[in-house]
Amino acid sequence: MAGLSTHILDTSIGKPAADVKIELFEADNKSAIVTCRTNADGRTDEPLIAPGNLRKGTFELHFHAGDYFTATNKDAPAVPFLDVVVIRFGIGHTDQHYHVPLLLSPFGYSTYRGS
Residues 18-52: tens digit of each pLDDT: 999 999 999 988 899 999 999 999 999 999 999 99
Mean residue pLDDT across the chain: 95
Asked if residue 54 has pLDDT above 80, the reply is yes
The model's confidence at residue 74, banded by pLDDT at 50, 70 and 90, is confident
Domain with residue 18: its CATH number is 2.60.40.180
Q: 88 is in which domain, residue-wise?
A: 3-111
Q: Rounded distance, CA 49 to CA 26, Å?
A: 12
Any residues with CB less than 8 A from the CB of 102 and at least 6 apart, and which? Answer: 6, 7, 8, 9, 17, 61, 63, 85, 87, 109, 110, 111
CA distance 28 to 21: 20
In 20-100, which ranges are continuous DSSP H helix?
65-72
Beta-carbon count within 10 A of 36 CB: 16
Helices (H), 40-91: 65-72
Confidence of residue 93 (pLDDT cuts 50, 70, 90): very high
Return the half-sphere exposure (C-beta side, CA atoms, 13 A cut-off) of residue 85: 26
pLDDT at 109 over 80: yes
Predicted TM-score (pTM) of this structure:
0.95
Q: For position 42, what pLDDT does the model report?
A: 98
Phi and psi dihedrals of 72, rounded to 5? -105, -5
Number of domains in the chain: 1
Query: Is the per-residue pLDDT at 8 higher than 90?
Result: yes
